[in-house]
Amino acid sequence: MAEPEVTIFADAAALARAAASRWLALAETAVAARGRFSVALSGGSTPRALFELLGQPPFAAALWAQTHVFWSDERLVPPDDPGSNYRQAQDLLLSRAPLPAANVHRVHGELDPQAAAEAYTKQLHAFAAGRGWPRFDLVLLGLGSDGHTASLFPGEPDPAEQRVPVLAVTADYQDRPARRVTFTPLLINAARHVLFLVSGADKANALAATLRGPHDPARYPAQRIRPVDGALTWFVDQAAARRL
Ligand code: 6PG
């Protein structure tokens, strides 16, 4: 794996602008090369500013007809639930960008964990034209203050993470919905570009431990993200980077 790119921005707004520009550049490259751009969105609060930017000019005209949106993880709640990562993206971006409905590939959070994971695996398989799972052009990820990413939480990894593209997760997690579906490192590491967006002083310890600490992927799941033949980029703000 090539060395990760780590870029530090003055604040969350500058980080979001840079992420929107990187999204556009990757979309243009992907559409020129393959006629479509496949992106997996992360959840949580950090990507909100990015979604808002992408829903406005000049990004609003950004190749949306050729863009396919998935989610790198999702809480197992109905799509209109305030905790739904799909609903957040729908409210801030998808309702404003002219994306064909068929290009929005949400996790069916209204299902039980195993059924939701199986259904999402089938969606990924279909998108990859029956060849296993897609090689995403871009996977967006966040970092929790405990070091988790997507819905890969600290603790001994499930061996299935290296065998299947999607897993159902029912681990308890702080104050957020616990039942989830997540991309696994197997799927994420197949991507052409993985972009972490990390903002805020509360992430400083987890970011420093992940990037500069000992290799401990059980404790720091984001260390499991090592693209096989793709780029790994960290866009962080100064507050999150203060212990780097
Ligand atoms: C989720 C996210 C999760 C998130 C981190 C960071 O569903 O909650 O996918 O992995 O990216 O928890 O969340 P914040 O951006 O809110 O700090």
CA-nearest residue for atom 12, ligand 1, is: 144
The domains of the chain, with CATH numbers, are 5-237 (3.40.50.1360)
Q: Enumerate the β-bridge partners of residue 183.
A: 166
101 contacts: CB under 8 Å, gap ≥ 6: none
Q: Binning pLDDT at 50, 70 and 90, where does residue 59 land?
A: confident
pLDDT at 205 over 70: yes
How many angstroms is it from 69 CA to the middle of ligand 1? 17
Using a 10 angstrom Cβ sphere, with 0-12 exposed, 13-18 middle and 19 or more buried, the burial of residue 70 is buried
pLDDT at 174 over 70: no
pLDDT at 1 over 80: no
Please tell me the predicted confidence (pLDDT) of residue 170. 86
From CA 5, how far away is CA 192, in angstroms rounded? 14
Please tell me the predicted confidence (pLDDT) of residue 177. 63
From CA 37, how far away is CA 30, in angstroms rounded? 5
What's phi and psi for 48, nearest 5 deg? Answer: -55, -45
Q: Enumerate the β-bridge partners of residue 7.
A: 235
End-to-end CA distance of the chain: give it in Å, rounded. Answer: 21
| Ligand 1 residue neighbourhood (C-beta within 6 Å) | 42-46, 73, 75, 85, 142-144, 148-150, 176
CA-nearest residue for atom 9, ligand 1, is: 43
pLDDT at 2 over 90: no
* Percent of the chain at pLDDT exceeding 70: 96
How many angstroms is it from 129 CA to the middle of ligand 1? 30
User: What are the pLDDT digits (tens) for 177-204?
Assistant: 679 999 999 999 999 999 999 999 999 9
User: What are the pLDDT digits (tens) for 81-137?
Assistant: 999 999 999 999 999 998 999 999 999 999 999 999 999 999 999 999 988 999 999
Give the number of the atom of ligand 1 that is nearest the alpha carbon of residue 73: 9
In testing the pocket of ligand 1, which one of 15, 46, 175 has its CB within 8 Å of the most ligand atoms? 46
Please tell me the predicted confidence (pLDDT) of residue 172. 66
